[in-house]
Amino acid sequence: MGALDELTSPAGDGDAVCGVPARLVAAPRDTAEAAALVTAARGLAVVIRGGATKLGWGPPPRELDLIIDTRRLAGVVEHAAGDLITVVRAGTPMAELHGLPGQQLALDAPPSATAGGTVAANASGPRRLRYGTARDLLIGITVVRPDGTITKAGGKVVKNVAGYDLGKLYTGAFGTLGLITECVFRLHPVPAASLWVRAVAPPLHAAKILAGQFAASALEVNAGPGAEPELAVLLEGTAAGVRERAAAVAELLGGEVSPEPPQWWDVPPWPADGVGVKLTGRLSQVPALVATAVGAGATVRGSAGAGVLYAGLAVDQGDAGVTADQRTVEAGRAVELLRAAAVRAGGHAVVLTAPAGVRETLDMWGPVHGLALMRRVKDQFDPGHRFAPGRFVGGI
């Protein structure tokens, strides 16, 4: 335990994951120290923490001995502007990557979110319509495997096709296969101009924008009970081109052009003590999916152009006429309704977050194809099932 004692500290009151407290906390400074830590921590259950913006997503861990905090693993290692790539440590705040000189990592994320956490969750926001997700923009990765081995995949060129693309395996794995310590991202130039078009219009009208070939960078919907649905379109490019396209979109939707996004843009639709659900489906089914979610009492936001939506359900803790059990049952019924609608739409519904008491009653991930293969991958990469135990699909 000597090496482990040197690398860790006793956990504090705030060092918990979904209500499960840790015993120890460590904050390695580089990949080598992270590898030494993971090696010394063999036999311990580990959860990785970055900016903690998504730490409450998913089920609680079955057990938790050690939280590995990546915020000291921070900083831009390299910014090769000519090659449109950057190499960053996993704990680097996304705010730093949004402010690279003349270029951008086109991943919408909270400023305090970290690069590694964004990759681990395969997070994205409104601009996924044009630029894709973390999985699309990641071209290289360094990971400390659960046995302490340092592995690298990909490289520093966009067209890298040699060998297995293990970066995609780690992306979206929620820290269950190892500790990401470094990422290589593809960058894009910062657009010269940006404008938004806002309109009160049903999601069905999103098809007009896609068919019109306006090269929208984002096409978002916002809908909720008792309110007219809205569409917002982000257009980027040269100043003259953006003005022309924005005017055409505004005329098509009967909307207005704005230099700023609406207040709801890229804001999760669930309250702090509510239930948040990610919904996916075919583009043709987005209007039906939105209608079902709103009918279930949810507020819905997300990409009407990429078929990725987020639904927020309030769990009213202050209604004296409703018992906790009744609230739990109602939340469960709403989630099942959303899940059935997503399946009909050719997609999935995943519960990202829910308050204590409700979380334990929900199948947060739902049925997922290929679960047997995913279990075999977990067994191969983490035979002891130490990393984020129970937090991923099927209790992986």
pLDDT tens sequence across 307-355: 999 999 988 755 555 666 777 888 889 999 999 999 999 999 999 999 9
CATH domain 1-190 topology = 3.30.465
pTM above 0.95, yes or no: no
Decide the pairing of beta strands 20-21 and 16-17: antiparallel
Strand order in the sheet with 76-80: 76-80, 85-89, 179-186, 138-144, 150-154
- Whole-number pLDDT of residue 315: 83
**CA 19 to CA 137: how far, in whole Å?**
33
Confidence of residue 356 (pLDDT cuts 50, 70, 90): confident
Q: Is the pLDDT of residue 159 over 70?
A: no
- Whole-number pLDDT of residue 319: 59
CATH number 3.30.70.2740 is the correct assignment for the domain at 268-367? yes
360 to 116, 194, 228, 268, 302: CA distances (angstroms)? 27, 43, 34, 22, 26
Residues linked to residue 68 through DSSP beta bridges, in sequence order: 26, 48
- Within the chain, which residue ranges are assigned CATH 3.30.465.10? 1-190
**CA 290 to CA 287: how far, in whole Å?**
5
Q: Is the pLDDT of residue 230 over 90?
A: yes
- Within the chain, which residue ranges are assigned CATH 3.30.70.2740? 268-367
Confidence of residue 162 (pLDDT cuts 50, 70, 90): low
The whole-number average pLDDT for the span 64-79 is 96
The whole-number average pLDDT for the span 109-133 is 95
**Domain 191-267 CATH class label:** alpha beta
**CA 313 to CA 376: how far, in whole Å?**
35
Query: Containing H/E element for 371?
Result: helix 371-381
**CA 301 to CA 223: how far, in whole Å?**
7
